[in-house]
Structure 1
Amino acid sequence: MNKIYKVLATASIFALAAVPVAASAQEVPPAAAQSGQGQVQNEAKVVPATWGQITNFVNDKTGKSVTVTGRGLAPSDQSQIILAITPETKIVDARGKSVPLKTVIDEKKVVKAFYGPNITKSLPARGTALTLVVQDKSFTAIDGTVSEVRENGILVKGTDIYTSNEDTILLHLADKATILSQDGKALTSGDIKEGTSIRAFYGPEVAMSLPPQAGTNYVIVNTEDTGSGESGNTDQELKAGTDGIVTNTADGKVTVVGKAHDKGGVNYVILSVDDKTQIVDEDGKALTKDALKADIRVDAYYSDIMTMIYPAQTHAGKIVVKKAETVKIEGTVKASDRASADQVYVNVGSDDSTDNDVILNISKDTPVIPTMGGDTKLRPGTKIIAYHSPIMTKSIPGITSAEAIIVTSDADTVQPK
């Protein structure tokens, strides 16, 4: 939702535009952190890191982990990553003083999260945190579209990456602002045009004018943007896709889980749908947005440029609605001698009855989607939503093939001994 701001004095707004953005949080130099074996200086030069806020915290039987969302300290580093917190992980401020993790989370502190080079290829990637350096100043970021290019800045309309609130802000580019393409190539301010999609980091100072104004010195530009603020619909631009099932529709967006296309894509994606989205049936007949409902099968095509949050988000270029039916169950994974290594027994309805229980065949192609980016192991006690083949054996329980599994909770899982 759009925010209403009080207008500051004109002099204050001009003063903001004149203030060097070097005072903003993004330009705090790489901190020196005490490691117990002397100081580690300028870790960013030798260790990958993500600079941002902790957007999710998990502390259960599987261990302790945090999700850090922001930007890579180097263009090649992750903009979002899930990091395991171990007894060896150092959490310190810029002076090397220990900081409780609870304080970092509760106060929404910005951190530089350094991690080892061994990370997974999942989205988001997973690794192990080496050091979290807590920053003195904060910042936020907006994913949006440049609606106007002015002499004193760019007007951006979009979504705050941390609150998901719709926002509009006038951003003043610092003289030495870092402007990069989505693949890390250096750009200039001239590459930012009206209609361009960007992610811009700003703050901590924001003038509460109408619209609000702030300085920015780090902008990521979607250079494959068509000038309309969304990815286009040509075959060349629709490089990625997901063949799967719509699990939710709300606010002009659809959530799709399934199998990523061989040429690119993810198995869990939120797609914005608008008048530029081509919606057709399997025969190519045009359909309206009303055809997009929960639990239908679709083949969704989109650009391979997407927000690196979990789940990934982007614009739907084309959606093919399929005729095949879907079958959905909800329940809890249960230990059973009837299930083999490639199967899971599901207590459908999580009740005391076994009449409607199901055994699901799990293959290497079955997407298992943790809604909060957690564990994908289907241990006993895991609560799931599963879509499966309409073909099922007449045995009790019936046996069928899982097509997509969504993990809704793993709080009560039984850990292996």
Structure 2
Amino acid sequence: MNKVYKVLATASILAMAAVPVAANAQDVPSGSAPENKQLIQNQVKVVPGTMGQITNFVNDNTGKFITVTGRGLAPTDQNQIILSITKDTKIVDAKGKPVALKTIVDEKKVVKAFYNPNITKSLPARGAALTLVVQDQSFTAIDGAVSEVREGGILVKGTDIYNKYEDTILLHFADKATILDQNGKAITADSIKKGMSVRAFYGPAVAESLPPQSTTNYVIVNTDNEANGPETGQELTAGTEGIITDTADGKITVIGKAMEKGGVNHVILTVDDKTQIVDEDGKALTKDALKTAVHVDVTYSGIMTMIYPAQTHADKIVVKKAESVKIEGTVKASDRTSKDQVYVSVGSDDSAANDVILNITKDTQIIPTVGGETALRAGTKIVAFHSPIMTLSLPGITNAEVVIVTSDDNAIKPR
């Protein structure tokens, strides 16, 4: 295993002190609670938060952003989120002392990231960081399948969510371990069965035994599945129903809807000789069938890179007969549009002959710029894929299926 473990006596593993990673939904940044403890119940404000490591850091002309990967502090909070770091973001340790962001990233410290509740509906969600609280203790986590259930613990085979190495570890439940199902409902350890997929947090101490052992006090279990072939340590197959929005260097970008069994709405997939490509009738196709604007159903491993958009290998691609129409242009203010419609100057020119009005429906996937918003204001530059069915009016009106914001630098700011 590609890890450096802190050695503990195997005989004492059951007595290891668990790192308290469970958090109440009422957790708030340090220093925000009122001094009068009797008023806490009435004055405390629920702030969403994610606890984990920073798995991606961007600092360029678009701004400063971090991706926090771990688990939500409450069942409704995000397990992974992209957060913008602004001059108003507080970065402190548990005692309120300022900490350099570079130190957190370089030393892979665990943080509780609190953010504005106004986040995007993208995957991962995006928002603005309010406070980062650096934790005194660290932990890691594994995504995988339960290959064996033992008294007081489980043997898990899978992948470390931070370094992406394949891993096998025997996890012992702490006395007050939090065990949740996929819906955030508390369950007991005896509800966990062989083959179920889990995300389990453990450490920092790990016994250098065979297999390695540690204590976990936070486990998320998918009780609806028993993974096929749990001995392989592979996760359930995930997928996306969507549109190919780009093809380059042996890869395709697909944007759409995650399938019920799991997946993301925006994914970059490597296509190679191991990828099965077929039409809707199951007939084999070549890579030439994978063109921009074509509708596809793609399936892939749930194990993917922790960047946005996610990247992984395409296991199977079903090419559909349907195709969309691709346009590029700028959103313009217009008295011809109504609620949930945007006027697009196609080509961003002065000609109105090829302009389009897009209906933005509940099924429209809007991909904002990093740290941006999904609001399509006048001045926003976009690439859009829309239905080939269009009204005969001028401009034509049609349903937007995917809208990718390429720039919102000139977008009109809300008053």
TM-score (norm 1): 0.66
Answer whether contact 1:5 1:209 (CA < 8 A) is retained.
Answer: no
Structure 2 match to 1:175: 174
Are the structure 2 counterparts of residues 188 and 254 from structure 1 closer, same or farther at C-alpha, using a change threshold of 3 Å? farther
Which structure 2 residues correspond to residues 2-401 of structure 1 after superposition, within 5 A? Answer: 3-4=1-2, 12=8, 14-15=10-11, 17-22=13-18, 24=19, 26=21, 33-35=30-32, 46-57=46-57, 65-117=65-117, 119=119, 121-150=121-150, 153-163=153-163, 165-176=164-175, 177-207=177-207, 211-228=211-228, 243-247=241-245, 256-258=254-256, 267-268=265-266, 281-282=279-280, 285-287=281-283, 293=290, 295=292, 296-299=294-297, 321-325=319-323, 342-345=342-345, 361-365=357-361, 366-370=364-368, 374-376=372-374, 386-387=384-385
CA shift, 1:325, in A, is 4.0
DSSP-derived class of the 1:184 partner: coil
Deviates more, 1:100-109 or 1:166-175: 100-109
Distance 1:28 1:400 in 2: 46
- Following superposition, the deviation at residue 216 of structure 1 comes to 1.7
Describe the SS at the equivalent of 1:97. Answer: coil
Contact 1:119 1:127 in 2 (8 A): yes
Q: Deviations over 1:307-353 (max 9, x none)?
A: 99965899999975312345657x7869999x9983445669xxxx9
Moved more, 31-40 or 122-131: 31-40
Write the distance in 2 (CA, Å) between the matches of 1:93 and 1:289. 55
Report the residue type matching 2:21 in the other structure. Q
Supply the distance in 2 between the matched residues of 1:315 and 1:293 (Cα, whole angstroms): 15
Provide Cα deviations, 1:98-150, integer angstroms capped at 9, x if missing partner: 22334333433211123455555554445544432111222222222223335
Check 1:52–1:359 CA distance in 2 against 1; reply closer, same or farther (3 A cut).
farther
**Aligned CA distance change for structure 1 residues 37 and 62 (closer, same or farther; 3 Å):** farther
Q: Distance in 2 between matches of 1:248 and 1:181?
A: 36
CA drift at 1:287? 4.5
Equivalent residue letter for 1:20: M
Residue 221 of structure 1 and its aligned partner are, at CA, apart by 0.2
The separation in 2 between residues aligned to 1:414 and 1:60, in whole angstroms, is 18
* Structure 2 spans left out of the alignment, 5+ residues: none
- 1:225 Cα deviation after fit: 0.7
Q: Using the alignment, how far apart are the partners of 2:104 and 2:404 within structure 1?
A: 30
| Displacement of 1:189 | 2.3
Residue pair 1:70, 1:79 contacting (<8 A) in 2 also: yes
Change in CA separation of 1:399 and 1:189 when aligned onto 2, cut-off 3 Å:
closer
Tell me the SS of whatever aligns to 1:34: coil
> 1:201: Cα distance to partner?
1.1
> Which shifted more, 143-152 or 87-96?
143-152
The separation in 2 between residues aligned to 1:380 and 1:16, in whole angstroms, is 64
The aligned amino acid for 1:172 is L
Q: Report the TM-score when normalising by structure 2.
A: 0.66
> 1:257 is aligned with what amino acid?
I
AA in 1 matched with 2:366: V
Query: Helix, strand or coil for the counterpart of 1:204?
Result: coil
For residues 225 and 315 of structure 2, the distance between their equivalents in structure 1, rounded to whole angstroms, comes to 12
Q: 1:249 to 1:74 in 2, by over 3 A?
A: same
2:380–2:411: 8 Å Cα contact kept in structure 1? no
Q: In structure 1, which of residues 385, 408, 413 is the aligned counterpart of residue 409 of structure 2?
A: 413
Q: Helix, strand or coil for the counterpart of 1:103?
A: helix
Matches of 2:166 and 2:263, distance apart in 1: 28
Write the deviation string for residues 256-289 of structure 1: whole angstroms up to 9, x where unpaired: 3136799x9964357999xxx999744xx33459
Note the aligned Cα RMSD (angstroms): 5.8
Q: Deviations over 1:27-83 (max 9, x none)?
A: 699798234975998999944322112334566787655443211223333323344
Conserved 8 A contact 1:334-1:347: no
Q: Distance in 2 between matches of 1:152 and 1:299?
A: 41
What is the CA–CA distance in structure 1 between the aligned matches of 2:140 and 2:283, rounded to whole Å? Answer: 39
> What CA distance in whole angstroms lies between the structure 2 residues aligned with 1:294 and 1:173?
49
One-letter amino acid of the structure 2 residue matched with residue 18 of structure 1: L
Residue ranges of structure 1 left out of the alignment (5+ in a row): none
| 3-state SS of paired residue (1:54) | strand
1:198-230 deviation per Cα after TM superposition (whole angstroms, max 9, x unaligned): 111122233455654433211100011144268
User: How far, CA to CA, are the matches of 2:319 and 2:370 in structure 1?
Assistant: 27
